[in-house]
Amino acid sequence: MKVLVIGAGIAGPVTAAALGRAGIEAAVYEAHDGPAEHLGSFLNLAPNGLAVLRSLGMLGTVLESAVCPSTAIEFANGSGRRLGRLEDGSTELEEGLQTVLIMRGALQARLAEAAAAQGARLEYGKRLTGFERTGSGVSAHFADGTRAEGDVLLGADGLHSPVRTAMDPGAPAPAYTGLLDFGGVAHGARAATPPGTVRMVYGSRAFFGLQTAPGGAAYWFANLPHPEPPRGPEAPGPEHWRALLLERFAGDLPEITEVLSASPVRDFTAHGTYDIASLPRWCDGPVGLLGDAAHAVSSSSGQGASMAIEDAATVARCLRDVPGPAEALRRYERLRRDRVERVAAEGRRRGAPKLAAGRLQVLLRDLMLPVLFRTISLRKGHSWMFDHRIDFDRDVREQLPA
Ligand SMILES: Cc1cc2nc3c(=O)[nH]c(=O)nc-3n(C[C@H](O)[C@H](O)[C@H](O)COP(=O)(O)OP(=O)(O)OC[C@H]3O[C@@H](n4cnc5c(N)ncnc54)[C@H](O)[C@@H]3O)c2cc1C
């Protein structure tokens, strides 16, 4: 069997490595000209995703680029009043499974390296323009005029997935969650967080996250309630967003203004946050979707990358164990759907307090959040996400009979 994987972001390289371990030939086709090492800001990689990488022999390479552990969150409101603290519990896990902060581009590049080191084939400068079903499989077409033939085609091509659109033109588009996301790294700002801890601030008009790494660099992100901005040439530039963020955080904790002022203007690129609550179909015959293409979850969940990694291992197990690609992909969807839809709903829930507007809503939010954080902490509310483990070697037919 030969599998064509479209996209070498996060899901793509992991899928190729997992298929290789399963003894299945795979090739990854990525639109960019090379591993996009400098693309995007940073993210947190959670224990459930790290555990999959460990089982596929990719963890060591990825951890070489991890900036620092990120295992606790302390919450405050805009005036600095403490709202709560959550430990994610990963400090109690085996070495290597502690949640880490990592640049998104570095993660992609290390995953691609680790997959290639295991013999996976990754081809860059290959933008998929379409595909067609052939008698025995799928033929993929690329913008450079070339084609590739395979038995299975997997769309690991991200939020605005061309594979999803071609597979199911009626599929719902990703829904804008009402928040713009910004992220950057500031040097020389007078700000410090305790080791391994992100400080999250529910400001009076926007939300801010900050973690300082050993050495002092300040990794920050901001979520700004805002209507969906236009894309393309009409999209406002970084100067506009920088000024707007400084205005929206004026009056909140001074360290926020300090960090934003110390960041290069290029960091103020707006990313809309989107999710897909439930996609009707993740597969059709020998064509399937994974990662953000199948189920984008809002960045407030902190799980997008880890969900993509879990999908990758699961789809490879299904193609290994279940006879016939179409049935294997259906089994993969059944194994994954409930979990990722629960994570998507959790992301929405976590994002909701960030949308509070006006004095009354902000006041109510600041009264309600300490109770919520205490409840989550007492019930170990993260564990259903973080403790999930995939036994790569186990036959999926034992886990989910036909
Ligand atoms: C601002 C922000 C913050 C985030 N924070 C977190 C976090 O803290 N924790 C977390 O786990 N997740 C986070 N995420 C989410 C995470 O980045 C995504 O969920 C993850 O990247 C999904 O991986 P993927 O492989 O499915 O898609 P992507 O990483 O988007 O990769 C898709 C790839 O497909 C390629 N592609 C697209 N079209 C084509 C085509 N036609 N032909 C060939 N290739 C194509 C793209 O170039 C890209 O390389 C965040 C996302 C954003 C935007």
Instruction: List b or e across 200-219, with b for residues whose CB sees 16 or more CB atoms inside 10 angstroms.
Output: bbbbbbbbbbbbbbeeebbb
Q: Under DSSP, is residue 392 helix (H, G, I), strand (E, B) or coil?
A: coil
On whether the CB atoms of residues 202 and 373 are closer than 8 A, the answer is: no
Check residue 240 and give its pLDDT. 97
Q: Which one-letter DSSP state was computed for residue 214?
A: T
- Residue 202 sits at φ, ψ, to 5 deg, of -85, 90
Report the candidate in 202, 34, 183 with the shortest Cα–Cα distance to residue 102: 183
In a domain, 198, yes or no: no
In a domain, 133, yes or no: yes
142 pLDDT higher than 90: yes
379 pLDDT higher than 70: no
175-186: strand order across its sheet: 82-87, 72-77, 197-202, 207-212, 218-225, 175-186, 271-275
- Which residue puts its alpha carbon closest to atom 19 of ligand 1? 304
Minimum-distance ligand 1 atom for the alpha carbon of 49: 11
On whether the CB atoms of residues 25 and 118 are closer than 8 A, the answer is: no
- Ligand 1 pocket, Cβ-based, cut-off 6 angstroms: 6-12, 29-32, 41, 43-44, 104, 127-128, 156-158, 162, 181, 183, 271, 291-293, 299, 302-306, 308
In a domain, 169, yes or no: yes
Check residue 81 and give its pLDDT. 92
253 pLDDT higher than 80: yes
Check residue 288 and give its pLDDT. 98
Report the candidate in 292, 321, 326, 325 with the shortest Cα–Cα distance to residue 309: 292
Cα(55) to centroid(ligand 1), Å: 22
Check residue 248 and give its pLDDT. 96
Cα(304) to centroid(ligand 1), Å: 8
Q: If you average pLDDT over residues 380-394, what whole number do you get?
A: 88
Check residue 311 and give its pLDDT. 98
In a domain, 262, yes or no: no
In a domain, 38, yes or no: yes
Report the candidate in 168, 186, 205, 170 with the shortest Cα–Cα distance to residue 354: 205
In a domain, 235, yes or no: no
241 pLDDT higher than 80: yes
Check residue 302 and give its pLDDT. 86
Q: Under DSSP, is residue 372 helix (H, G, I), strand (E, B) or coil?
A: helix
Q: Please report the sign of the dihedral spanned by the C-alpha atoms of residue 235, residue 41, residue 187, residue 44.
A: positive
Cα(158) to centroid(ligand 1), Å: 5
Check residue 278 and give its pLDDT. 85
Condensed to tens digits (0 to 9), the pLDDT of residues 24-69 reads: 999 999 999 988 777 779 999 999 999 999 999 999 999 999 999 9
Question: What is the C-alpha separation between 96 and 115, in angstroms, rounded?
Answer: 19
Report the candidate in 52, 271, 296, 254 with the shortest Cα–Cα distance to residue 164: 296
Condensed to tens digits (0 to 9), the pLDDT of residues 160-206 reads: 999 999 999 999 999 998 989 999 999 999 889 999 999 999 998 99
Tokens describing residue 74: 């302390």
Check residue 275 and give its pLDDT. 84
Residue scoring higher pLDDT (381 or 335): 335
Report the candidate in 204, 209, 232, 207 with the shortest Cα–Cα distance to residue 219: 209
Check residue 354 and give its pLDDT. 74
Check residue 345 and give its pLDDT. 86
Question: What is the C-alpha separation between 247 and 222, in angstroms, rounded?
Answer: 13
Q: Residue 119's domain spans which residues?
A: 2-71+97-174+275-353
Mean pLDDT, the chain, whole residue set: 93
- Which residue puts its alpha carbon closest to atom 35 of ligand 1? 7
Residue 149's alpha-carbon distances to 35, 132, 361, in angstroms, are 23, 10, 55
Condensed to tens digits (0 to 9), the pLDDT of residues 95-131 reads: 999 999 999 999 999 999 999 999 999 999 999 999 9
Residue 48's alpha-carbon distances to 178, 261, 308, 309, 385, in angstroms, are 28, 35, 11, 9, 7
Burial class of 307 by CB neighbour count within 10 A (0 to 12, 13 to 18, 19+) = buried
Q: If you average pLDDT over residues 8-16, what whole number do you get?
A: 98
136 pLDDT higher than 90: no
Cα(252) to centroid(ligand 1), Å: 31
Question: What is the C-alpha separation between 236 and 389, in angstroms, rounded?
Answer: 42
Residue scoring higher pLDDT (61 or 356): 61
Task: With both helix axes pointing from N to C terminus, report the angle between 104-117 and 11-21 in degrees, rounded to the nearest 10.
Answer: 20
Minimum-distance ligand 1 atom for the alpha carbon of 304: 19
How confident is residue 370, by pLDDT bands cut at 50, 70 and 90?
Answer: confident
Tokens describing residue 305: 């990358």
Distance of CA 259 to the CA centre of its chain: 24
Tokens describing residue 10: 């996060």
In a domain, 187, yes or no: no
Tokens describing residue 374: 């205490």
Question: What is the C-alpha separation between 388 and 384, in angstroms, rounded?
Answer: 6
Q: If you average pLDDT over residues 61-86, what whole number do you get?
A: 94
* Percent with pLDDT over 90 in the chain: 77
Q: If you average pLDDT over residues 81-94, what whole number do you get?
A: 90
Please report, for the domain that includes residue 110, its CATH number. 3.50.50.60
Cα(253) to centroid(ligand 1), Å: 31
Check residue 378 and give its pLDDT. 64
Question: What is the C-alpha separation between 300 and 346, in angstroms, rounded?
Answer: 8
Number of domains the chain contains? 1
In a domain, 293, yes or no: yes
